[in-house]
Structure 1
Amino acid sequence: MVKRYYCDYCDRSFSYSAEARKKHANGHHHKKLYQLHYEHHKTAKQRLQDELSREKCRRFHLQQKCSFGESCIYSHLIDADILKLKEQAREEDEAVRKSKLPTQVKNGEEPTLETWLSKRKEHLQSPTDYRMEDTSKWEFKYSIPSSLENISYLPPSLIPPSAESLLQITFQDWG
């Protein structure tokens, strides 16, 4: 009995050999089905980059029928479709950015340091309960001391960080 290779993309099988598999993988039909499969997993930003890198199909944009249809190597998107794709990409980027923000900032609440300190002080004064309170209710706010407000060029170490700037920090991996 000869071993058989089954291709999930093409839904067919053939005898297993390096030559047959290579021939199948390089075939037009397999490549097209492979591309169609992974097209569904692309983000709007990736699809937009792909479409903008292609030239426009002349026949399609002259309101003629493109004989290649979905397999055409040129772009069939009109300006309205490109704008919709740009909007989807922007919404995806915004959703990713918001997912990285702390819960308080997502809800539009600006945390304050004073509130956190007062809650911490209350917590330390109660000797019977050493458990941490619900930290989602704590608020943090950084502000410049009044003595430094008049200085026009503050060093970066004294500028209060925003939640946005904290998300843009890249940490060095040390091994």
Structure 2
Amino acid sequence: MGKRYYCDYCDKSFADNPVNRKNHLRGVIHNKMRKLHYDSFRDPGTILAEDETKLPCKRFYNTGSCDYGDGCRFSHMTEEKRQELLKQIEEENKLAERKTQEDMEQKQLTLDDWLAKKCKTVSSVKVEEVPQFSLPQALRNIPNIPPSLLPPKFEDFQNTDPVEWG
């Protein structure tokens, strides 16, 4: 048995050869399923904006269904769905506004605060602020320990430039 191609969008597999794959990828069902997949990731504002440009589907509103489904060029948006999308948009806007306010509060450092932070030197570090390291018991009996395994001393912290991470 030869190789099989599995399409994640359609949940379908078939013999993998160029002709079969080309026919499948150009097929109506595949394109419809791919569109449904990507539409599930669209934001509510885009969905609502696209739907407002369409006219209402008479068949959908009269019978409750449409033969064309999501491929219909008319709108199938119900009032409940529209209200749900508007609510989601409003929540996203509130969240974004809250985030921008928090960012602005963080950015309102004065120039003096910034300069004070940048001008701090390591020489102002007190002995109490530097953690005290000691050699583990297992390494104490080993002669000529490499420098990378020796614990740092207070002097090592005094002679370094300040580094700001992040």
**TM-score after normalising by structure 2:** 0.55
Name the CA shift for 1:15/1:104 in 2 (closer, same or farther; >3 Å).
closer
Indicate the residue corresponding to 1:169 in structure 2: none
Query: Per-residue deviation at 1:60?
Result: 2.9
Query: Per-residue deviation at 1:75?
Result: 1.4
Indicate the residue corresponding to 2:64 in structure 1: 65
> What CA deviation, in whole Å up to 9, does each residue of 1:68-109 have, x standing for no partner?
27445121213453344234234324434544x373636xx8
Query: Per-residue deviation at 1:36?
Result: 1.8
Identity %: 25
Indicate the residue corresponding to 1:2 in structure 2: 2
**Equivalent pair of 2:60/2:66 in contact (CA under 8 Å):** no
Code of the aligned partner of 1:33: M
Please identify which structure carries the higher helix content.
2
Name the CA shift for 1:120/1:37 in 2 (closer, same or farther; >3 Å).
same
* Corresponding position: 1:55 with 2:55: yes
> What CA deviation, in whole Å up to 9, does each residue of 1:31-71 have, x standing for no partner?
2221222222111122113322332111233x433242744
Q: Which runs of 4+ in 1 moved over 6 A?
A: none
User: Residue 117 of structure 1: which of 109, 112, 121 is its match?
Assistant: 112
Indicate the residue corresponding to 1:14 in structure 2: 14
**Equivalent pair of 1:51/1:75 in contact (CA under 8 Å):** yes
Indicate the residue corresponding to 1:141 in structure 2: none
Name the CA shift for 1:122/1:94 in 2 (closer, same or farther; >3 Å).
closer
Indicate the residue corresponding to 2:124 in structure 1: 128
**Equivalent pair of 1:44/1:92 in contact (CA under 8 Å):** no
Long gaps (5+) in structure 2 = 126-160
* Corresponding residue SS for 1:6: strand
**What's the RMSD between the two structures over aligned residues?**
3.6
Separation in structure 2 between the aligned mates of residue 118 and residue 39 of structure 1, nearest angstrom: 47
Name the CA shift for 1:53/1:104 in 2 (closer, same or farther; >3 Å).
closer
Separation in structure 1 between the aligned mates of residue 94 and residue 19 of structure 2, nearest angstrom: 47
Code of the aligned partner of 1:117: D
Indicate the residue corresponding to 1:41 in structure 2: 41
